[in-house]
Structure 1
Amino acid sequence: MLLNLVTVHWPAVSSVMGPLHGCSYLFVIIATARHPQSAGRLTALALIPGIGGLLVTRQLDRPRPVAPEPVDNNQT
């Protein structure tokens, strides 16, 4: 999109960059929705234009806390 501003909206650049930008936006949303660690909140973050993919990547890169193993008090 910034390239389009620099080229003063040349039709050739716009006709290539517009669909490419739209497809990448949809790819980020679909990839986030299909990710095993994704929740509804992350999919909503992916919908934010421009920065949504970066926010989702940042959230998915965070280490997840490991649940402690259950203690078995019924040892015989």
Structure 2
Amino acid sequence: MKHYVTGYKPNEDDQAFKVRIPLSLPELREIMRWTDDGDCVFDNEMSELHRQKIEDTCSIDLPKNLDLFLTTESS
């Protein structure tokens, strides 16, 4: 599975940002507080805390002016 953070301008449907993140499912389960591995198949809206944890874990900067979502694609 490949995991991405995607970003959208508020109230718009066109994707403005996408970056692959090198985290495993167990790492994401902890960050996102998932209780089931199947939770990753949905687009998950990210909170400010999620954004900060992913930035810290991956040593990346994510946009602060977009609505961010964690998405997963099969390999």
The alignment's TM-score, normalised by the length of structure 1, stands at 0.26
The alignment's TM-score, normalised by the length of structure 2, stands at 0.27
Higher radius of gyration, 1 or 2: 1
Choose between structure 1 and 2: higher helix proportion: 1
| Structure ranking higher on relative contact order (CA contacts 8 Å, 6+ apart) | 2
